[in-house]
Structure formats: structure tokens, C-alpha cells
Amino acid sequence: MVEYKVGIDLGGTNIVAGVVRVDSKKQEYEIVARAECKTAIPRPEADVCDSMADVVKKAVRKAKLTMDDIAYVGIGVPGAVNPETRIVETSPNLFFTNWEVSRMMEERLNKYVKIENDANAAALGEFLAGSAKGCKNAVAITLGTGVGGGIIIDGKIYSGSNFAGAELGHMVIVKDGKKCGCGRKGCWEAYASATALINMTKDAIRSEKAEFSYMLNAVDGDIEQVNGKTPFDAMKDGDATGKEVVENYISYLACGIVNVINIFQPDVLCIGGGVSRQGETLLAPVRAIVEQERITKHNDKQTQVCAATLGNDAGIIGAACL
């Protein structure tokens, strides 16, 4: 049976909607059209819903379909999401609490709307069609505005008794460390997200004592143009400050990954999000640390640490297939 469904990946930076062609018999999932816009947070819930509805309609038009052809809409939302009540109980990165997003979107689209935590949706996407396809147990980490975590156990999303499980980004890795958006200090998210990497890079540039700053020069002297690629590009060109930033970042990222592997022992742990585009430059040193520090270092079977093969498509496919 072939159906068309829409998946929305609602992030702190961008809103992306995709029309997914689902062939359940062949277990094939194809994004046939997509549309996107900036999230532009902070702003009211209704405004965000208007933007989501707009990108859904644009994506459906691009697919040369109508809303009548769409089975339902799924949304991946950052934060504590209750799929049963279909309410976003809290979303630190969007600054919303008790957000009745399903009801509000149904009013705009006249379609049934399901919701799930965005990282859970991405994990489901990778499990169905990506790097964890065919696995029984998997964990997906997303490095973006925050650090998202999605856990698949025995083929099902694990979200805990209150639907707020798998918030891996909010385990503390540095006691009394940097302030996190959730209110705690020292969370993994405060050290391993793309936002954290950008902040580390800016701090390193500001602390440079040499007259010439390679990384500042690379962004034409505008420190606000620094992004997650900046320190990696600098390191590849031999810049010592860029190398130091990358090594510090990788040590924090690997610390959390070892924790996750020690707790869950998944078949696959895949890493997605913008920072993961660095490929083996990121993954190889992470694996080296994991191999040294994981509790199962002497076991024959080990967790495979790899890049999420679907990239940003994972969240769309996962949301569409909730």
C-alpha cells in the first residue's frame, strides 16, 4: 500500500516539511517534495503554527498533490512531547510550555496531526530507512541547536513513563559547569551541541593573543559569522587555535557518547545534525575515545558508531511515519 504523508522537522533554527511517499509493503520511504522557512524564535505559538502550515502547503503543492491526498501530518518537536495528549509539555529551545500544537495545526490543515520529540522522530527515521535499518536496538544523537537523543529498543521508540525520556542532551557531564537552557549546569548539550561549538570558537577567537586570528580572518572579521565549520576548516589548514577548539569539542562529545553506550549498549549509535557533516574528521577521533573508555572494550560485540545516513531527512521521514 502506497500512501503520502507529511513530516515536519521543527527546529530551533529552521522549519522543514516534507511529503513522504510510503510503500509499507516494500518498506520504502521517499521524500518527494519539501519546503522550509526560518523558525525565527522567539515568537508566539500561533505564528509558528502559521509558518508550519505554510511550509506544509508549499511542499504538498510542489509534490503536485492536494491536502486530500495526504494521510496525516507528523511533527518532530524539540523538548518533552506527550504523544498521547498531543501536547508539547515543555520546549526549552522554543520557549513554549503546554503547547497544544496538534490542535492548532489541525485547525489550520484539517488533517489529523501526530507529534513526537524531534530526536525520537529522527531515530525512527534512521531505524526505518537509514543507518540503523535492520537493527533491534539503536540510539540516534542529533547535534544541532541542542543535543537531541532518540532511543529505539526492540524496534520501538523509548520515551519513558512520562514521555520525556531520551533527553540525553540534559545529562550532566561537568558538575557546576556551563548553564544550559533547561536550567541545569554542565549538561552535555551545553558542551556538545552545534551552538556550544560555535560559542567555544568565539571564546577562543576572543582569547587569542596573536595580532592575526586565522578564524576571525576566515569570517571577514565578523565574529557573528562563525559557524560549526569554522574551527574544523581552520584545523584542516593548520591553525592551532582551531585544532584546540575541535579537540576540546570532540572530548566533550565522546564523553557523552561513552555514557550512552555504557547505559544502553545499542547495536548502532548514529550521529546526525550539522556538525556530523564533518564525517570521519569528527567520527574517527570520537571512536578512538569510545574504544578506550567504554565498559565493554573486551567484548566481541561492540556498538557501531557512525554517521546518520539520512541527514536532515531522518526527522522528516520519522515524523511522517509516527
Instruction: Output the average pLDDT for the chain.
Output: 93
pLDDT of amino acid 169: 93
User: Average of pLDDT values for 198-221?
Assistant: 91
pLDDT band, very low/low/confident/very high, at 118 (cuts 50, 70, 90): confident
Residue 311 has pLDDT above 90, yes or no: no
pLDDT of amino acid 50: 97
pLDDT of amino acid 209: 80
pLDDT of amino acid 200: 97
pLDDT of amino acid 153: 95
52-66, 110-124, 286-300, range with greatest mean pLDDT? 52-66
Q: Report the predicted TM-score, pTM, of the whole model to 2 decimal places.
A: 0.82
pLDDT of amino acid 85: 92
Residue 257 has pLDDT above 90, yes or no: yes
Ranking 101-110, 169-178, 203-212, 272-281 by mean pLDDT, the lowest is: 203-212
pLDDT of amino acid 77: 93
Spatial distance between the Cα atoms of 78 and 192, rounded to a whole number of angstroms:
16
Question: Quick one: CA dihedral 210, 212, 215, 221, positive or negative?
Answer: positive
Residue 1 has pLDDT above 90, yes or no: no
Q: 169-189, pLDDT tens digit by residue?
A: 999 999 999 999 889 999 999
Spatial distance between the Cα atoms of 35 and 52, rounded to a whole number of angstroms:
10
Residue 212 has pLDDT above 90, yes or no: no
Helix ranges (DSSP H) in 86-220: 101-109, 118-129, 189-192, 194-207, 214-218
Residue 144 has pLDDT above 90, yes or no: no
Residue 211 has pLDDT above 80, yes or no: no
Q: What is the torsion angle, in degrees rounded to the nearest 10, for the CA atoms of residue 215, residue 217, residue 219 and residue 220?
A: 170
pLDDT of amino acid 317: 96
Residue 76 has pLDDT above 90, yes or no: yes
Residue 236 has φ and ψ, to the nearest 5°, of -60, -30
Residue with the bigger pLDDT between 242 and 134: it is: 242
pLDDT of amino acid 146: 87
Ranking 61-70, 157-166, 169-178, 213-222 by mean pLDDT, the lowest is: 157-166
Strands 70-77 and 113-117: parallel
Share of the chain above pLDDT 90, in %: 80
Domains of the chain: 2-128+313-320 (3.30.420.40), 134-307 (3.30.420.40)
- In this structure, are residues 122 and 314 in contact, taking their beta carbons and an 8 Å threshold? yes
Ranking 107-111, 145-149, 190-194, 284-288 by mean pLDDT, the lowest is: 145-149
The number of angstroms, rounded, from the C-alpha of 14 to the middle of its chain's C-alpha atoms is: 12
